[in-house]
Amino acid sequence: MSRVLRIELRRSAALGSALILLAVGTLLLFFVDRSVFTTGWMQLAMTQRLYLAVLWPLALAAGAWQGRREHRTNVTELFASTPRSRAHRAVPTLLAMALAVVAGYLAMGIAGGAWIAGTARYLPASVFAVLAVGVLALVAAVWLGLAAGRLLPSPATAPALGLAGLGVLLLLPGATRPHGWLALVFSPIYEMNLPDAYTTVPGRASVAQAVWLAALAVTAVLLVVSGGWRLRVAALLPVVLGAAVAIAAMPRDNRYVIDAVDPVARELVCAHDDPRVCVSRVHAGLLAEVVPPARAALTVLAPLPSPPTQVHEDTTTYVPARYPPWHDDVVLLRVDAGSDGHLANRDLVLAEVVAGAFAGPADCDHLAGPDEKMAAAYWLIGRAPATPGAVALWQNLRQRPEGEARARVVALRRAALGCTVQDGQLTR
């Protein structure tokens, strides 16, 4: 059988399908919005799953195109006189198309991975679960396409099936409207867009999705090898069973994936020696880029009384609302990866750290406004800020004598830490 498998890999639609999936997937990854996946491996895996919106219908169409082969080439007469059963005969085709689709998807992941390999360090096990569900989805799609192409061998079946597949994917969230978790069971692209830095896909969700997709794949295989109506009706059984088990396994939270936060990804990882600069584990690859401007900023802040001595990443998540513990001597900095995988807004890190010295705890109501913080920060740095609002305040500060301006800046910091900032305090 391995000879025949090799022949099928070379001569069927397998090679073409793999290349098309790889090309389309890579184009989507790199031309739609690179910053979506450059944060880390989990974001890459989730974004790959999101682009299944295009790849899944294409896999359906590829399977239907291949499934039509026996009818298109008139070989049924010849093959009817051979001893090998239809099921046995279908195995190399099923294997070849599955291998092709898996290879295309994984190669797309490798292409994306090559882009972020330098800076993405955190690789949790759930990444592989997300990837596996994506792979299963494509295998189920191509096998379903094979079944459809065999059962409805018209030339219009392949593109129509692709469009129908897209229709199903797009309609699933709407059709299950109040129950978002149902859409999560059946749709491999649901809740996969714009992944947060600390996002994760809980194992239970992946398991439920995998069960459903595996049942779909089994049904597809049964339909491919079916000869009469009995087996075709029996093929409904795995689908129904799989749906039931998947629905039972999925928790009933409507925003299960969006609300999931990976605590390990949020843990702080710090650079050696003082002053301490820490980023979250998922951004650990960016630590080397954060440290120099952060330490320079701490040096700028050193003349202040009780200056901050550490810079930590701001691991606040808004959904669900979780805030890092507040310390007076720690400046919180927002760290993001840009579309090239490296630190975004590298030039602004210095100013942001200095401005962060004038921020207060999250549960505080009287905080300094962004313009005031920037004006104070740039006054300490000695340059002009960028935004017009901050520029006005900064010039106001500059016009005052040195001692008075310094006193105002120090007062702003004390007020921010004590949650007692008053409006326009800096320049009144």
Please report, as ranges, the residues that interact with other proteins according to CB under 8 A: 1, 3-4, 7, 11-12, 20, 24, 27-28, 31-32, 53-54, 57-58, 61, 69, 71-84, 89, 155-156, 158-160, 162-163, 166-167, 170, 174
* Cβ-based nearer residue to other proteins, 24 or 261: 24
How do 330-333 and 310-313 pair as beta strands? parallel
Name the phi and psi angles at 313, rounded to 5. -70, 145
- Note the maximum CA span of the chain: 102
Of 22, 204, 196, 210, nearest to 134 by C-alpha is 210
Q: Are strands 277-280 and 310-313 parallel, antiparallel or unpaired?
A: parallel
Closest CB to other proteins among residues 161, 380: 161
Structure tokens at 272: 């050696």
**Inter-CA distances, 391 with 223, 355, 359, 372, 387, Å:** 70, 14, 19, 10, 6
Q: From the CB of 57, what's the least distance to other proteins, in Å?
A: 6
Given the complex with other proteins, which of 108 and 282 has the nearer CB atom?
A: 108
Kindly tell me which of 53 and 412 has the beta carbon lying closer to other proteins: 53
Question: What kind and span of H or E run contains 44?
Answer: helix 41-50
Minimum gap (Å) between residue 199 Cβ and other proteins: 20
Amino acid identity at 425? Q
CB of 28 to other proteins, least distance (A): 6
Give min distance, CB of 71 to other proteins, in A: 7
Cβ closer to other proteins: 20 or 222? 20
H or E stretch including 331? strand 330-333
Q: CB of residue 30 vs other proteins: minimum separation in angstroms?
A: 12
Q: Among residues 29 and 211, whose Cβ is nearest to other proteins?
A: 29
Give the nearest distance from C-beta 53 to other proteins in angstroms.
5
Residue with smaller CB distance to other proteins, 84 or 327: 84
Strand partners, 331: 311
Burial class (CB in 10 A: 0-12, 13-18, 19+), 357: buried
**Residue 136 neighbours by CB under 8 Å, 6+ apart:** 209, 210, 213, 214, 217
Q: How far is the CB of 370 from other proteins (least distance, A)?
A: 26
Phi, psi for residue 311 in degrees, rounded to 5: -120, 120
